[in-house]
A and B are shown apart, each in its own frame.
Chain A
Amino acid sequence: MSTENTTLKDGAALYGYLVAFDKVDELLVAAAKVRDAGYKKWDAHTPFVIHGLDAAMGVKKTVLPYIVFLAGLTGTAAGILLQWWTNAVDYPFLISGKPLFSLPANIPVAFETTILFAAISALVGMLALNGLPQLSHPLFSSRSFKRVTDDRFFISIEARDPLFDTAKTRELLESVSDQPVEEIEDLS
């Protein structure tokens, strides 16, 4: 485990601390500790979803489902309106002696638009809520952090956090991980 990059270059603002874990369990325990310490601006980084971690971190349930639901309704309405307006209002034509507007014939399209709107909102909503895309981030400056998408688990605490204290926070992190705590330089 390299010790370089653990100290901040002079004059650079501090983004926060980053500490790594090898095992899922260590991470979970540590996460719970950090949560209990009352930190708000901190995060855990894992190569894959770890269940229980949300609880351990006290992450609140996302509003995404509601967004998607509303988008879905919009899709339905849009689908029906499109068919009603184009075929029955704007340019009506007589087809096979059928009524200009009849729901049964319009359900398939309305259904598809529902799904389409909802699906797009799910992805876009997720990215938006996550503030992605964000191509550059202070954490990317850490070399060890590159393993976060491979087999390493991390906890980062931001300096912006009101409880953040260079000494106390480092102490806390050292107490939960046997690995060195990195100081992450903020983007200038």
Chain B
Amino acid sequence: MSTPVSYLDNTGDDPAVRARLVVGDNDFHSVTEKVCGIVEQPKPPKFWWVAFAASSSLTLVLFACIGYLVTTGIGVWGLQVPVGWGYAIVNFVFWVGIGHAGTLISAILFLLRQRWRTSINRFAEAMTIFAVVCAGIFPGIHVGRIWFAYWLFPIPNQMSMWPNFRSPLLWDVFAVGTYATVSLLFWYMGMIPDLASIRDRATTKLRFYIYGVLSLGWRSSNRHWHRFEFAYLLLASLATPLVLSVHSVVSFDFAVSIMPGWHTTIFPPYFVAGAIFSGFAMVVTLIIPTRKFFGLEEIITARHLENMAKIMLATGMMVGLAYSTEFFVAWYSGNTYEAFTFLNRAFGPYAWAYWTMVTCNVLVPQIFWFRKLRNKTLVLWVASILINVGMWFERFVIVVSSLSRDYLPTSWGYYRPTAIDVLTFVGSFGLFFTLFLLFVRFLPMVGMAEVKGVMPQAHLDRPGHRGHGDYHGDIAGVEVV
């Protein structure tokens, strides 16, 4: 086994060696200590307070903007004809996309037996849920008569009228609604055993009762584990097609329309790839500071970061491929409107947005080809932030630049966001981080039960494998019935 530079470095490309998923001399107990310790400390560290103060005040800005919007009208945004959708929809797609990484890590990597997922999936799922919360706000407030937004749900109302199921927006309602629900279930279920850990270590009555209730009386019974494992497997296999469907449906909002630049069949895969891309970028952006501040380097290891960098490289190139395909099709289809739309994207009034997008999403990830760079935490972190920026602009370019110049030149226009637009967007980050900080403070941010399952002490180095926990092999002297 190649001796690592630092005991923390478990990166390496020797195929003969299985990289350790948890470094340092940790046993089951020390993992429990590390993870529960964060929740159990009487008062959070100073940096937490600083971050929380900042993010919660941003959240207030968000609610102030929404209040102003509701009382005054959609006109406080920069929207107009032809550009009837702007920041709100861009932010919605952006946040939904962010969410996807969480589900991908917890569900898809699980099905693919990617054991390294165990230490980051809890974290990523939490991020999913908070991102979906932020995403959910925007479709709600972007309608002209917010107080009637509930008409989008198939609930009987005074008009005895039903929503129109041919509309992609309605598909959105179901897709995002289902996505939010399933993610929540998945997240919560995975957390039950860890909540039980906190319960069992509880030193105060309050904590004992709260976590006691939350853990539903989990007693680690193996007969329970057996069903738990199946449920987890089923949820994972349900969440996998779901996560792919959600961004496909979101992309239908555009693909099903007849606007040049929107009416594109490659949107579903293109959007899903982009979503995973942006999601991983956001996970990295969040996890790097978190593991540092909470001293989780031994559990969320350099290897985890490297793997995510690789995924970003891959998805980033998929997105790049999509960009070029769009141009090719625009030219090849011979549809002059389509052709102009893309010419206009690259060289029209919104060229600045387009090239920002290309730089951040296609060029920046290329640095991950180099091991040295992708293993530099700071480089990785900065790159991940740039990718987030780029992915936001991708949605901006799709939504705004396509609308701003459609069929009749007489109705061409130019969309400018107002201060309210921008503040609402910034505010949504406030909400996101607020929820996130509350999460790391009060909930186990690493799936202890799962991490323990992949530790050497659980005899992992044997061949053969089944199901959850990633334990390999059968036991000496035990004949299986």
Contact = CB atoms under 8 A, between A and B. Distances in A.
B406 to A, nearest CB: 18
Contact of A25 (B216, B467, B475): B475
B226 A59 contact: yes
A14 interface: no
Given A50-B469, A51-B465, A112 B480 contact: no
B220 interface: yes
B170 interface: yes
Nearest to A102: B166
Given A47-B449, A62-B226, A105-B165, A118 B218 contact: no
A180 interface: no
Interface stretch (B45-53, B181-189, B278-286, B294-302): B181-189
A122 B235 contact: yes
Interface of B is mostly: helix
Nearest to A115: B242
A132 B218 contact: yes
Contacts of B477: 29, 32
A184 to B, nearest CB: 12
Interface of B: 27-29, 32, 154, 160-166, 170-171, 174-175, 177-178, 181-182, 185-186, 188-189, 193-194, 196-197, 199-201, 212-213, 216-231, 234-235, 238-239, 241-242, 245, 249, 252, 448-450, 452-453, 457-459, 465-469, 471-481
A51 B467 contact: yes
Contacts of B154: 82, 86
Interface in A27-67: 28-29, 32, 35, 43-59, 62, 64-65
Interface of A is mostly: helix
B171 A109 contact: yes
Interface stretch (A2-10, A145-153, A160-168, A170-178): A145-153
A15 interface: no
Contacts of A55: 474, 478, 480-481
Interface-centre pick from A65, A115, A139 (highest chain B CB count, 10 A): A115
A123 B219 contact: no
Top 7 nearest A-B pairs by Cβ distance?
A: A133-B216, A86-B162, A151-B28, A51-B471, A126-B231, A49-B469, A55-B480
Nearest to B242: A115
Interface of A: 24-25, 28-29, 32, 35, 43-59, 62, 64-65, 68, 82-83, 86-87, 90-91, 93, 95-96, 98, 105-106, 108-109, 111-113, 115-116, 118-120, 122-123, 125-127, 129-130, 132-137, 139-140, 146-151
26 contacts: A47-B220, A48-B193, A48-B452, A48-B458, A49-B449, A49-B467, A50-B458, A56-B478, A59-B222, A59-B226, A65-B230, A86-B162, A91-B162, A108-B175, A111-B241, A112-B242, A113-B174, A115-B178, A118-B234, A119-B242, A123-B185, A130-B224, A149-B196, A149-B199, A150-B29, A150-B32
B185 A119 contact: yes
A56 B418 CA distance: 66
A158 to B, nearest CB: 12
A64 B230 contact: yes
Contact of A91 (B160, B197, B199, B479): B160
A179 B188 CA distance: 35
Contacts, number: 234
B453 A132 contact: no
A112 B245 contact: yes
Contact of A64 (B199, B234, B249, B475): B234
A43 B220 CA distance: 10
A125 B231 contact: yes
Given A32-B478, A52-B478, A151-B27, A106 B178 contact: no
A87 B28 contact: no
Given A43-B223, A123-B231, A150 B161 contact: no
A69 to B, nearest CB: 9
Given A116-B178, A132-B216, A29 B478 contact: yes
Contacts of A135: 212-213, 216-217
Contacts of B32: 149-151
B174 A109 contact: yes
Nearest to B194: A149
Contacts of A109: 165, 170-171, 174
Contacts of A29: 475, 477-478
B238 to A, nearest CB: 5
Contacts of A86: 154, 162-163, 165
Contacts of B199: 149
A52 to B, nearest CB: 5
A87 to B, nearest CB: 5
Contacts of B239: 119
A122 B234 contact: yes
